[in-house]
Amino acid sequence: MSFEEAEILRERAEDFLRNAERLLEEGVYDLAAFNIEQYCQLILKYKLLVKTGTYPRTHSIMRLIRELSEISQNLRELLRGDRILYLTKIEDAYIGARYLPRRYEEEEVRSLLNFVREVFKPLVEAI
């Protein structure tokens, strides 16, 4: 692992989150949902890369969280209660927003973004 590779992942993740916020305000909900998923996926891969030197080649946010929670027990908080519903909905956006004839609603995407800002991001950043 190189420091540069890790930083590219982190920067790209943050760019996806900012883009999700912008797309939400522009009313492009499908792509906002996809960008939220990309943020989550890349920031988890970044943390795994920094902590272990590698990360699995997967798109599964749930798998990435489970692997990272072996390093940080606090991350297991994401796998409890209704938080897991948010995570599976975010994970589903990888396919749903790209390939399926599904439309995301403003309230639904706003809820996902709030979850990421208020719950997901603080837990992941604490690692």
The count of structural domains within the chain is: 1
pTM of the model: 0.93
Helix, strand, coil share of the chain (percent; to 5): 75, 0, 25
CB 21 within 8 A of CB 113: yes
- Structural domain including 90 reads 3-125
What are 74-119's pLDDT values in tens digits? 999 999 999 999 999 999 998 887 777 789 999 999 999 999 999 9
CATH number of the domain within which 48 lies: 1.20.120.330
What are 13-70's pLDDT values in tens digits? 999 999 999 999 999 999 999 999 999 999 999 999 999 999 999 999 999 999 999 9
